[in-house]
Amino acid sequence: MRSLRVWVLPPILTAVRPRNRRPPLRGTRTRLHHASSPRGYAIGAENALHPSQSVEEETLPHYDPDEFYPVHIGEVFNGKYQVVGKLGFGAHSTVWLGRDMNTNQVPNYVTLKICTKTPTESIDREILAYRHLSSLRSSHPGLPHVRGLLDSFEVVRSDGSYHRCFVHQPLHLTMWDLQRLGGTSATFPQGMVKSALRYLLQALDFLHTEANVTHCDIKLSNIMLTVEDEGVLTDFEDAERQHPCPRKIVDHERTIYASRSFRLPRNHNWGSPVLCNLGEARIGGSYSYEEIQPEVYKALEIIMQTD
């Protein structure tokens, strides 16, 4: 049904990141181990949802099943990334937690973002942004707070169409999700806001002064927190293996899975913020009056189309 072709990007700035400047990430500690084999996952037939029920990406207004690659939990991509469970979905992608079976590091989890097959301007801009960032060499303290790319490849289907896949380091949840944990009217403590702004301003300073990139879509849902309690990753996989998520079996090829959330970190050990989603990013210093943000977030000069 599919074949793989590697879509190569150079490693993105990892070699020059100054460790003494980067906030401590317990999730990045490593221990040597041998490359692993694929693990077995339950089919989960006992959790099958009714065929008439719309699930996850099926609820999107313009959902086209042929646009989304039919990922299966337990499937192995690019010969080394095994899908562990579903993290979420969007209009142009689904996102999964996976294991890198070839790494010599523990934890060996990654995030797989598998895009829809029809190219979109957002996906194309994201590719250009990663290619541009990967060409830089920097020790800027804001660099660790811009999400990087670990790997990328394409899944080619039998009809010749393909799906781009981005491989990232796992992150926990968005600032928007964190705010919702406190209720719809919750606000962040002043200390947390000050700390988050410090890191985000460093990220923007790196993008603006060294990368010459404008993000164009800064909002709480595009700011994620690093994984400080690495146990949330192993617990996620254990939960999927012991209690398979609900799923809708469409046919012999396609199953729509329900997303699963990470548990909360122990001792409220939230990580530091990382600016994500470069799908609206613009490279270079030219003026642009394109529709790039919701009205509420637009700068006045963009609304008025003035310099």
Q: What is the widest separation between alpha-carbon atoms in the chain?
A: 60
Residue 299 pLDDT > 80: no
**Mean pLDDT, residues 158-175 taken together:** 94
Q: What value does the mean pLDDT of the chain take?
A: 84
Contact call for residues 92 and 123 (beta carbons, < 8 A)? yes
pLDDT the model gives residue 41: 75
Query: Which residue is associated with the tokens 């937690």?
Result: 97
The predicted-structure confidence for 171-205, as pLDDT tens digits, reads as follows 999 999 999 887 766 788 898 899 999 999 999 99
d(CA 134, CA 161): 26
User: Which of residues 98 and 298 earns the better pLDDT score?
Assistant: 98
Query: Which residue is associated with the tokens 């890198």?
Result: 100
Contact call for residues 238 and 245 (beta carbons, < 8 A)? no
CATH of domain 2-303: 1.10.510.10
Contact call for residues 245 and 260 (beta carbons, < 8 A)? yes
d(CA 261, CA 115): 20
What tokens were used for 187?
A: 């606000």
Three-state secondary-structure class, residue 135: coil
Q: Would you please indicate which residues are annotated as catalytic (active-site) residues?
A: 217
CB hemisphere CA count around 277 (13 angstroms): 17
pLDDT the model gives residue 238: 95
pLDDT tier for residue 31 given thresholds of 50, 70 and 90: very low
Q: Which has the minimum average pLDDT: 111-115, 258-262, 266-270, 284-288?
A: 284-288
**Helices (H), ranges, 110-249:** 121-134, 175-180, 190-205, 231-242
pTM (two decimals): 0.82
Contact call for residues 2 and 158 (beta carbons, < 8 A)? yes
The predicted-structure confidence for 67-114, as pLDDT tens digits, reads as follows 999 999 999 999 999 999 999 999 999 999 999 999 888 779 999 999
pLDDT the model gives residue 206: 97
What tokens were used for 143?
A: 């660099």
The predicted-structure confidence for 211-254, as pLDDT tens digits, reads as follows 999 999 999 999 999 999 999 999 999 999 999 999 999 998 99
pLDDT the model gives residue 291: 66
d(CA 154, CA 5): 5
